[in-house]
C-alpha cells in the first residue's frame, strides 16, 4: 500500500525495535517479519509517527530534508506491506 | 547489491544475535543417520530447568526476538512446556523442531492454545521408504500423525523441514504438495557433513547435477519455500537466492547446546568452533560479545584460494561446516562448490586429518532395532 | 532547510543531480527471520 505525505500512520503494537549501529531491527511478533531499518532517521520517523497527524508533520519534526521524502515514502509504503506500520487514515 | 552490503554489515556481528538455535537435550527417540548433533542419549551435564530459564532471561535482556529450539528431540524434556512458556512470557518467540513423536492430540491442543509459537516437523521423504531410510522405521508415520493432530487441533500453519539428499531431491514437488495439503510451509535445508552426517555425507549429499536441480527448483517454485539461507553456495549458478546470503555463524546466530556450550552454529559442534559456556562468568552475553572465536569470525575473512574466482562474491566460499568436516581449508572452496573447485581437492585430504565431531551422544547400535514410538 | 547535502555517508544508491535534488536511499530491507544461515 502506498502511503502519502498526508497519511496518518503508527507503529504496529506488535512490533519491537532493537537499536543497532546501522539503525535498528524491527520485528513483528505476530507475522514473524523482520525488517532492517538502515538509517537512524527512518528509525526515529517510525517511532514518532504516531505522535503526528501526518507523515509530512513527522518528517518536519524529525528534521528530514525534503529531498529525502520520496525515499522515505517508498520505505514507509513497504513497511505497510510487512505490517510494521499501519495507516490510520 | 543492497543485500550484499547489508550482508557486509552483518558479517561484523551484532551486539546480540537476531535469533539462535538452542538444543535442549541430546536425548532422542530416533537415530537419524545424518543427525547434526549425533543425538540419542541424554548428557549428564544437561542444563537444569532453572539454568534454562536463566538463559532465557538473558536472551530477553538482549532482545533476542526469536529462538529455534531443537535437540535431539526437545519434547522429551519433562520441562519442555515450562521452558517454552517462559520464553514466550519473556517476549522471545519460539520455533521448535521436532520429529512429532510427542504431538498427540492432547499436546497438539496445548500447543494450539499458545501464541508466538511455531512448530517445525522434520521429514526427509514423501513416502515411508524414502523417509525411514534416513530417519528410522516408523518415523514417517509418526510425523504424519503429528501433522494430522496439529491440523485437527486447528493449530494453523506449521512448517515441514526437509534435509535435501541425493534420494529425496526428486521429491521436491511432492514435498510442496504435501505441505500445501496441510496448509503448512515447506522448508528445505542443506545437508552438512556434521554429527552423524559426517559418516553418511558421501552417500547422501546431492550430486552437482542435483544441486543445479535444487537451485532451478527454488528459482521456479521457491517463493513461499524457506531455506534457512542454507543454499547460498548455489548462488554461483547465477541469480542469488533470497536471504542474507552469508554465513551467520557467530555473527547474527549461534548455537547453545544442551550442556550450555556455545558454538558458532549447530553444524559445527566441535571444539574448534566452541566459543564458551553460558555457565561461565558473564553468561551468554559475555560469550556472544567477547569470546575469542566470535571476535575472530567477525573480522574480515580471507577469500584465500577463492580470491581469483569470479563467483566468490555470490557464493562467499560456501559453508564453514561443510569445509571443516570434509577436511578442506576454511579459506578455500566448499566441498560442493558448484564449479567443482572443492570436489577435486577431496581425494587428497588424508583421512586422518578429517576432523571428527567432538561429542557423540548416539545410542549404542544394539538398542536401535526399533525406533517406533506410539502415541 | 538545505536540500543539497547528502545527510549521511554515501548510501549505495544516493544521487543528487542539479536537475532533480531527490536523494535515493535504501532505508528498509526485509529479511526472513529464517533467512540467516546457521539456525535450524
Q: Choose the mutation target among A49, A71, A83 for the interface with C, i.e. most C CBs under 10 Å.
A: A71
Chain A residues touching C33 at Cβ < 8 A:
27, 32-34
CB C27 within 8 A of CB C17: no
- Alpha carbon of C5: minimum distance to chain B alpha carbons (Å): 22
* CA atoms of B163 and B85, how far apart (whole Å): 28
Residues of A in Cβ contact (< 8 Å) with C5: 65
How many CB atoms neighbour CB B110 within 10 A?
13
DSSP designation for A35: E
Checking ipTM against 0.90, whether it exceeds it is yes
Q: Which burial class, exposed, middle or buried, applies to B347 when counting CB atoms under 10 A from its CB (0-12, 13-18, 19+)?
A: exposed
The alpha carbon of residue C13 is apart from the nearest alpha carbon of chain A, in Å, by 11
DSSP result, B54-121? HHHHHHHHTT--EEEEESS-GGGSTTHHHHHHHHHHTT-EEEEEE-STT--HHHHHHHHT-SSEEEEE
User: Residues A33-65: pLDDT tens digits?
Assistant: 999 999 999 999 999 999 999 999 999 999 999
Q: Does residue C7 sit at the B interface (CB-CB below 8 Å)?
A: no
Chain B residues touching residue C29 (CB < 8 angstroms): 2-3, 6
How many Å apart are CA B297 and CA B330, to the nearest integer? 12
DSSP B260-325: SEEESSTT--SGGGEEEETTSTTHHHHHHHH-HHHHHHTSPPP-GGGTT-TTHHHHTT--HHHHHT
Interchain CB contact of C9 with A (< 8 Å): no
Neighbour subunits, A (≥3 Cβ pairs < 8 A): B, C
User: Closest by alpha carbon to B244, among B257, B235, B255?
Assistant: B235
Grid coordinates standing for B371? 525406533
- Residue whose cell numbers read 495439503: B181
- State which residue of chain B sits closest to A24, comparing Cα positions: B14
- Per-position pLDDT tens, chain B of length 375: 344 478 888 899 999 999 999 999 999 999 999 999 999 999 999 999 999 999 999 999 999 999 999 999 999 999 999 999 999 999 999 999 999 999 999 999 999 999 999 999 999 999 999 999 999 999 999 999 999 999 999 999 999 999 999 999 999 999 999 999 999 999 999 999 999 999 999 999 999 999 999 999 999 999 999 999 999 999 999 999 988 888 999 999 999 999 999 999 999 999 999 999 999 999 999 999 999 999 999 999 989 999 999 999 999 999 999 999 999 999 999 999 999 999 999 999 999 989 998 899 999 976 554 444 443
* Cα separation, A56 vs B10, whole angstroms: 32
b/e burial code for range B263-272 (CB count within 10 A of at least 16 → b):
bbbbbbbbee
Burial of B30 (0-12, 13-18, 19+ CB in 10 A): buried
B203 contacts: CB under 8 Å, gap ≥ 6? B166
Residue owning grid cell 536401535:
B368
Contact B228 C37 (CB under 8 A): yes
A32 touches chain C (CB under 8 A): yes
The answer to whether A38 contacts C29, with C-beta atoms less than 8 Å apart, is yes
Q: Which residues from chain A sit within 8 angstroms of residue C22, using beta carbons? A: 67, 70-71
Residues A44-68 as b or e (16 or more Cβ within 10 Å = b):
bbbbebeebebbbbbbeebebbebb
8 Å CB contact between B185 and C32: no
Chain B hits for A38, Cβ within 8 Å: 6
**Running DSSP on this structure, what letter comes out for residue A36?**
E
- Structural domain boundaries of chain A? 9-87
- Residue A37: closest C-alpha in chain C: C28
> B102: which 3 cell numbers?
510427542
Q: Do C40 and B228 touch (CB under 8 A)?
A: yes
Q: Are B23 and B68 in contact (CB under 8 A)?
A: no
Q: Give the DSSP H or E segment for B212.
A: helix B208-221
**CATH numeric code, A9-87:** 3.90.930
Nearest residue to B67 via CA among C37, A49, A19, C39 = C39
Amino acid at each position: 500500500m502506498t502511503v502519502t505525505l498526508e497519511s496518518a500512520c503508527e507503529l504496529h503494537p506488535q512490533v519491537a525495535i532493537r537499536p543497532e549501529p546501522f539503525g535498528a531491527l524491527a520485528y513483528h511478533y505476530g507475522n514473524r517479519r523482520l525488517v532492517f531499518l538502515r538509517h537512524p532517521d527512518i528509525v526515529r520517523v517510525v517511532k514518532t509517527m504516531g505522535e503526528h497527524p501526518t507523515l509530512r508533520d513527522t518528517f518536519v519534526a524529525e528534521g528530514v530534508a525534503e529531498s529525502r521524502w520520496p525515499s522515505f515514502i517508498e520505505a514507509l509504503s513497504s513497511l505497510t506491506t510487512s505490517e510494521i506500520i499501519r495507516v490510520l487514515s | 547489491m543492497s543485500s550484499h552490503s547489508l550482508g557486509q554489515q552483518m558479517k561484523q556481528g551484532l551486539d546480540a544475535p537476531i535469533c539462535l538455535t538452542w538444543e535442549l537435550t541430546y536425548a532422542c527417540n530416533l537415530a537419524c543417520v545424518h543427525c547434526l548433533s549425533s543425538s540419542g542419549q541424554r548428557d549428564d551435564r544437561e542444563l537444569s530447568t532453572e539454568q534454562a530459564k536463566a538463559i532465557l532471561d538473558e536472551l530477553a535482556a538482549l532482545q533476542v526476538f526469536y529462538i529455534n529450539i531443537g535437540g535431539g528431540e526437545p519434547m522429551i524434556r519433562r520441562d519442555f512446556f515450562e521452558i517454552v512458556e517462559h520464553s514466550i512470557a519473556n517476549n522471545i518467540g519460539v520455533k521448535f523442531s521436532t520429529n512429532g513423536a510427542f504431538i498427540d492430540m492432547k499436546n497438539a491442543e496445548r500447543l494450539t492454545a499458545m501464541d508466538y509459537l511455531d512448530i517445525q516437523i522434520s521429514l526427509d521423504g514423501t513416502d515411508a521408504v524414502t523417509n525411514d531410510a534416513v530417519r528410522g522405521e516408523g518415523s514417517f508415520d509418526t510425523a504424519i500423525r503429528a501433522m494430522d493432530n496439529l491440523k485437527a487441533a486447528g493449530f494453523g500453519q506449521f512448517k515441514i523441514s526437509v534435509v535435501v539428499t541425493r534420494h529425496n531431491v526428486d521429491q521436491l514437488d511432492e514435498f510442496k504438495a504435501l505441505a500445501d495439503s496441510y496448509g503448512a510451509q515447506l522448508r528445505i535445508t542443506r545437508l552438512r557433513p556434521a554429527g552423524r552426517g559426517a559418516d553418511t555425507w558421501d552417500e547422501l549429499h546431492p550430486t552437482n547435477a542435483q544441486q543445479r536441480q535444487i537451485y532451478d527448483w527454488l528459482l521456479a517454485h521457491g517463493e513461499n519455500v524457506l531455506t534457512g539461507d542454507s543454499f547460498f553456495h548455489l548462488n554461483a549458478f547465477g541469480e542469488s537466492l533470497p536471504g542474507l546470503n552469508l554465513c551467520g555463524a557467530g555473527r547474527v546466530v549461534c548455537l547453545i547446546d544442551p550442556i550450555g556450550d556455545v558454538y558458532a552454529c549447530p553444524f559445527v559442534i566441535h571444539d574448534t568452533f566452541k566459543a564458551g559456556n553460558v555457565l561461565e562468568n558473564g553468561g551468554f552475553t559475555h560469550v556472544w560479545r567477547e569470546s575469542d572465536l566470535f571476535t575472530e569470525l567477525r573480522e574480515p575473512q580471507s577469500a584465500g584460494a577463492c580470491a581469483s574466482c569470479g563467483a566468490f562474491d555470490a557464493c562467499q566460499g560456501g559453508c564453514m561446516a561443510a569445509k571443516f568436516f570434509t577436511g578442506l581449508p576454511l579459506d578455500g572452496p566448499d566441498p560442493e562448490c558448484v564449479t567443482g573447485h572443492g570436489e577435486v581437492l577431496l581425494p587428497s585430504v588424508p583421512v586422518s586429518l578429517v576432523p571428527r565431531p567432538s561429542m557423540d551422544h548416539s545410542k549404542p547400535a544394539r538398542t536401535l532395532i526399533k525406533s517406533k514410538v506410539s502415541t | 532547510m538545505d536540500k543539497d547535502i547528502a545527510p549521511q555517508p554515501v548510501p549505495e544508491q544516493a544521487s543528487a543531480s542539479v536537475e532533480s535534488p531527490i536523494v535515493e536511499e535504501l532505508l528498509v530491507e526485509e529479511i526472513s527471520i529464517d533467512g540467516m544461515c546457521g539456525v535450524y
